[in-house]
Amino acid sequence: MTDSTKLVTAVIPVYNGERYLREAIDSILAQDYAAMDVLIIDDGSTDGSADIARSYGERIRYHYQPNGGLSAAQNAGVAEARGKFIAYLDCDDLWVPGKISLQMKILRKQPEIDMVFCHVEQFYCPQTARERGVDVPLAPPIMPGYSTGAMLARISVFERAGLFMSEFRIGEFLEWYSRASDVGLASAMRDEALLRRRIHADNMGMRDRDKRGDYLRVFKAALDRRRKTKPDES
pLDDT digits (tens, 9 = 90+) for 208-222: 444 444 434 444 454
Domains and CATH numbers, the chain: 8-162+185-201 (3.90.550.10)
pTM for this entry: 0.84
pLDDT digits (tens, 9 = 90+) for 145-203: 999 999 999 999 999 999 999 886 678 999 999 999 999 999 999 999 999 999 877 65
- The runs of H, that is alpha helices, within the chain are 21-29, 49-54, 70-80, 99-109, 126-132, 157-161, 172-182, 204-207, 213-229
